[in-house]
Amino acid sequence: MAEKSFKYVIVGGGVAAGYAAREFAKQGVRQGELAIISKEAVAPYERPALSKAYLSPESPARLPGFHVCVGSGGEKLLPDWYKEKGIELFLSTEIIKADLTGKTLVSADGKSFKYQILIIATGSTVIRLSDFGVQGADAKNIFYLREVDDADKLIEAIKAKKNGKAVIVGGGYIGLELGAALRINDLDVTMVYPEPWCMPRLFTSGIAAFYESFYANKGIKIIKGTVAVGFNANPNGEVTAVKLKDGTVLEADIVVVGVGGRPLTTLFKGQVEEEKGGIKTDGFFKTSVPNVYAVGDVATFPLKLYNENRRVEHVDHARKSAEQAVKAIKASEEGKSIDVYDYLPFFYSRAFNLSWQFYGDNVGDSVLFGDDNPASPKPKFGSYWIKDGKVVGAFLEGGTPDENKAIANVAKVQPPVANLDQLASEGLAFASKI
């Protein structure tokens, strides 16, 4: 068996891997010290583009246009960059076995990789309807979206089923972003989800009401409170209809499913401590196994601000956790220490001409403020979350860069607030004066 040996190995070649590579280069990494092993065929890229500009019918984003680190305003790391830095990229290489005691990884094509320090950056995979036995869920033209290959297959189907009918299963991030993308591609879109309103993990009913009306105005039909229980297919095996639990049957040429993600920790099961579905780390992203770090979607880390261990499945944390882990590795090699990770949660999304940002924690009471009329030419509204008399979270649709900075600051500073009615009427002005 071919064996290769590196000082540092990153398993996974997504967002966190790319930002880790840049940090290694900044801190000084020698030729041949670092390897990235990815089952994808391309160098690390900004995954959020896949559900947005990549699906645009006009001048869509394509690689190499969105390799990391362009998403945060940095230099684009093209495959040549890794070559110049002497960082080895093993692409189309899936690790199928990890031995953390023997410090060895084995790939599906029979390569063996030895490391001194391992960074686990395997991210998440999609939850499939077939995982819970939904009948007919393996029909053709039922899509999931995680990697660039998935997006390419979806684009082929959009071309083949021009002006056809699309059903979106799920009302979370993928549901809302893909519902918009398919509508922009002139498909007739219906969304289905079990909850009383979309994105219940984050949105209040007030926030969701805006997006649901906005989508309805764009011609998207929304069916709530039920789930897909089966699919019909034609003799070619292509999906033709989605059967719902409430008995409704929806015709469909294309189905996109976004019913959640699952962190990819299976390789390391039983070898490393886990918590809340992820690999448990400290504030430097060190796991319970010496010289093994975990970053991005797979890490359950101490969120200092809330004194609680959490997992975060968003790109800002993937970038920052990767940078923190590499800084910690380099500092410990020099006998130095760095501050623990002190993260302010930040999530965002874009769909149609809408764009929102959220900072902090969505717990406690909430107030809605601003112009949340979906028919306004430029709606701008938001929400604050208030816990123990302090503002702990803030959401803003349609904010300018300065306004987004102001809501981030509020979530970080956590100012006291006595009167919720007054807070609602002050709205954005409250954040701007902090």
For binding to ligand FDA (CB under 6 A), which residues are involved?
Answer: 11-17, 37-40, 47-48, 50-51, 94-95, 121-124, 145-147, 264, 267, 296-297, 313-316, 318, 347-349
CB of 83 to ligand NAD, least distance (A): 31
Question: 427 near 371, Cβ under 8 Å?
Answer: no
Backbone φ, ψ for residue 283 (5° rounding): -75, 5
Tokens, residue 144: 């999931």
Q: Which does 259 bind (CB under 5 to 8 A by kind): ligand NAD, ligand FDA, none?
A: ligand NAD
Residue span binding ligand NAD (CB under 6 A) among the ranges 160-168, 173-181, 234-242, 273-281 = 173-181
Q: DSSP for 391-410?
A: EEEEEEES--HHHHHHHHHH
Question: Does 137 sit near ligand NAD (CB under 6 A)?
Answer: no
What letter represents residue 123's amino acid?
G
Among 170, 302, 374, 399, binds ligand NAD (CB under 6 A): 170
DSSP character at residue 288: S
Q: How many CB atoms lie within 10 A of CB 230?
A: 16
Minimum distance of ligand NAD from residue 119's CB (angstroms): 20
Place of tokens 């509204």: 381
Q: Which of the choices ligand FDA, ligand NAD, none does residue 228 contact, using the CB cut-off of 5 to 8 A by kind?
A: ligand NAD
Q: Which stretch binds ligand NAD (CB under 6 A): 180-188, 190-198, 288-296, 380-388?
A: 190-198
Site for ligand NAD in 302-321 (CB under 6 A): 313-314
8 A C-beta contact, residue 66 and residue 11: no
Inter-residue contact 253 to 261 (CB < 8 Å):
no
Q: Least CB distance from residue 96 to ligand FDA, whole Å?
A: 7
User: Three-class SS of residue 381?
Assistant: strand
- Binds ligand NAD (CB under 6 A): choice among 12, 44, 172, 393: 172
Nearest to ligand NAD of 42, 227 (CB atom): 227
Question: In angstroms, what is the minimal distance from the CB of 198 to ligand NAD?
Answer: 7
The three-class DSSP label of residue 318 is helix
Binding to ligand NAD by CB under 6 A, coded x per residue (else -) over 247-266, reads -----------xxxx-----
β strands within 26-149, DSSP E: 34-37, 88-90, 95-99, 104-107, 112-120, 124-126, 142-143
Binding partner selected for residue 12 from ligand FDA, ligand NAD, none, CB under the kind-specific 5 to 8 Å limit = ligand FDA
DSSP state of 164: -
The β-bridge relationship of strands 165-169 and 254-257 is parallel
Residues 351-410 contacting ligand NAD, CB under 6 A: none
Instruction: Tell me the two tokens of residue 351.
Output: 């769909």
Alpha-carbon gap, residue 211 to 305, rounded angstroms: 30
Q: What is the nearest approach in angstroms of ligand FDA to the Cβ of residue 95?
A: 4
Size of residue set near ligand NAD by CB under 6 A: 26
Closest distance to ligand NAD from the beta carbon of 250 (Å): 12
Token pair 């649901």: residue: 212
Cβ nearer to ligand FDA, comparing 289 with 386: 289
Q: Does 203 bind ligand NAD (CB under 6 A)?
A: no
Query: What residues pair up with 278 in beta bridges, in sequence order?
Result: 275
User: Which residues in 68-97 contact ligand NAD (CB under 6 A)?
Assistant: none
Do the Cβ atoms of 355 and 398 come closer than 8 Å? yes
Q: Enumerate binding residues for ligand NAD (CB under 6 A).
A: 51, 124, 169-175, 177, 192-195, 200-201, 227-228, 258-261, 313-314, 347, 349
